[in-house]
């Protein structure tokens, strides 16, 4: 069975539709796992919520989903994110907010688990940028593979078990597009994997294309996919909605 693993959609309907079409038509995915942040930043929160709901997929909550669902302070968010979240709260209806607020922080399945930010203190939304932070997350791992998102940067790590030292499976080089592990990853036994799926709707690794992963549980492989979508239309929607221009601009910068 092939599982499409995707997250950080950020209300970018054009990117989401392109990813779902690629997963279905090219990669023959039959199941879907959403890593959260369905909303925030982009212009189509309502439509993205309904598209993801219609998949009936495995799902965890992201920090933007949570902040849209509940009336808590927006302290800690950048001014750009804050402006978009105030707008997003107005756009989604009460029923959609309740759905966002019902999503679990993490989930476990046969052989895999998923969380938006980190298995270590998932409710505090830490960013896994450095080795120590990833190692902390993997210490809480109960399955061989953990999928996560949040940084919007596609990256893989593994830890030999038991008690091994974490090793990154992708080396960062410039231009950053070279750093992407575009080939498939063969999962081996005796390792714990932490796999960041990148972002559907707002990639920040220098590649403007929508990103997601395909996990094959029989072959034990993971394929990173990048999919072209109508970036200009997504940008036009953001401007029409009256959202900050920088949110539109960053889609062509890939950061
Ligand atoms: Zn995000």
| Distance of CA 212 from the midpoint of ligand 1 (Å) | 13
Assign 228 to helix, strand or coil.
coil
Percent of the chain residues past pLDDT 90, beyond the cut: 80
CA 2, distance to chain mean position in Å, is 18
pLDDT given at position 246: 95
**What's the CA-to-centroid distance between 246 and ligand 1, angstroms?**
16
142 CA distance to ligand 1 middle (Å): 24
Position 182 scores a pLDDT of 57
- Chain Cα centroid distance, residue 58: 13
Under 8 Å between Cβ of 205 and 180: yes
What's the whole-number mean pLDDT along residues 214-239?
96
* d(C-alpha 100, C-alpha 114), whole Å: 17
Length of the chain as a residue count: 255
- What is the distance between the alpha carbons of residues 106 and 142, in angstroms, rounded to a whole number? 12
Residue with tokens 């925030």: 40
Phi, psi of 167 (to 5 degrees): -130, 130
Ligand 1 centre distance from Cα of residue 79 (Å) = 15
The string of pLDDT tens digits covering residues 168-206 is 886 444 444 444 445 678 999 999 999 999 999 999 988
Rounded distance from Cα 84 to ligand 1 centre (Å): 12
Q: 30-83 pLDDT, tens per residue?
A: 999 999 999 999 999 999 999 999 999 999 999 999 999 998 888 888 898 899
State residue 208 phi and psi, 5-degree precision: -75, -15
Q: Distance from the CA of 56 to the center of ligand 1, in angstroms? A: 21
- CA 196/CA 152 separation, integer angstroms: 8
The predicted model gives 219-246 an average pLDDT of 96
User: How many whole angstroms separate alpha carbon 255 and alpha carbon 239?
Assistant: 18
Closest alpha carbon to 93 in 59, 49, 58, 52: 49
> Which residues, 6 or more positions from 108, have their beta carbon under 8 angstroms from its beta carbon?
142, 143
What's the confidence (pLDDT) of residue 251? 96
Q: What is the mean pLDDT of the chain?
A: 92
**How many Å lie between the centroid of ligand 1 and the Cα of residue 110?**
26
Distance 150 CA to ligand 1 centre (A): 5
d(CA 126, ligand 1 centre) in Å: 12
Answer whether residue 7 shows pLDDT above 50: yes
Is 0.85 topped by the overall pTM? Answer: yes
Phi and psi of 184, rounded to 5°? -75, 150
**CA 65 / ligand 1 centre spacing (Å):** 9
User: What is the CA(151)–ligand 1 centre distance, in A?
Assistant: 7
pLDDT at residue 140 is higher than 90: yes
| Distance of CA 131 from the midpoint of ligand 1 (Å) | 20
The pLDDT of residue 172: 44
For 90, other C-beta atoms within 10 Å of its C-beta total 8
């Amino acid at each position: 069975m092939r599982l499409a693993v995707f997250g950080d959609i950020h209300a970018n309907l054009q990117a989401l539709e392109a990813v779902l079409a690629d997963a279905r038509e090219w990669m023959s995915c039959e199941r879907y796992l959403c890593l959260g942040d369905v909303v925030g930043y982009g212009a189509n929160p309502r439509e993205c919520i309904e598209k993801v709901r219609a998949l009936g997929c495995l799902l965890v909550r992201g920090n933007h989903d949570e902040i849209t669902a509940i009336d808590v302070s927006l302290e800690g968010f950048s001014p750009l994110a804050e402006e978009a979240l105030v707008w997003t709260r107005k756009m989604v209806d009460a029923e959609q907010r309740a759905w966002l607020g019902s999503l679990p922080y993490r989930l476990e399945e046969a052989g895999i688990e998923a969380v938006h930010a980190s298995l270590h203190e998932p409710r505090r939304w830490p960013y896994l940028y450095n080795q120590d932070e990833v190692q902390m997350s993997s210490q809480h791992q109960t399955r061989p593979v953990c999928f996560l998102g949040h940084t919007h940067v596609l990256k893989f790590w593994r830890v030999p078990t038991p008690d091994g030292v974490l090793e990154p499976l992708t080396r960062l080089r410039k231009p950053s597009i070279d750093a992407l592990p575009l080939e498939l990853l063969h999962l081996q036994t005796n390792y714990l994997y932490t796999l960041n799926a990148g972002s559907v709707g707002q990639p920040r690794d220098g590649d403007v294309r929508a990103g997601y992963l395909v996990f094959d549980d029989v072959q034990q492989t993971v394929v990173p996919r990048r999919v072209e979508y109508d970036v200009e239309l997504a940008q036009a929607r953001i401007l029409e909605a009256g959202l900050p221009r920088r949110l539109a601009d960053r889609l062509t910068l890939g950061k």
